[in-house]
Amino acid sequence: VISISDATYIQKINAELVTPENEIVNKLADADGDGSITISDATLIQKYIAEIFSDTGNAGKYLSEI
């Protein structure tokens, strides 16, 4: 289940307050699939949570779909 905590975690990664726990978390946090974790990834997660499903990148997809 995706929650606002996920977007907050991505913001903390972007601010270098935490580092991704492992490669799977790193891949899931990169919601736009550009190879880096940025505020844009947090925005895509927030859009998905708000049920705005257009242009949400990989947000909401299973790892096997990425």
Tell me: the pLDDT tens digits for 7-49? 999 999 999 999 988 999 899 999 999 999 999 999 999 999 9
| DSSP assignment letter at 48 | H
Decide: 45 and 31 in contact? Cβ < 8 Å: yes
Question: Residue 23: which H helix or E strand, with range?
Answer: helix 23-29
In the chain, the amino acid numbered 47 is K
Tokens 């242009």, located at residue: 55
User: pTM surpassing 0.95?
Assistant: no
Confidence of residue 63 (pLDDT cuts 50, 70, 90): confident
Tokens coding 8 = 């907050």
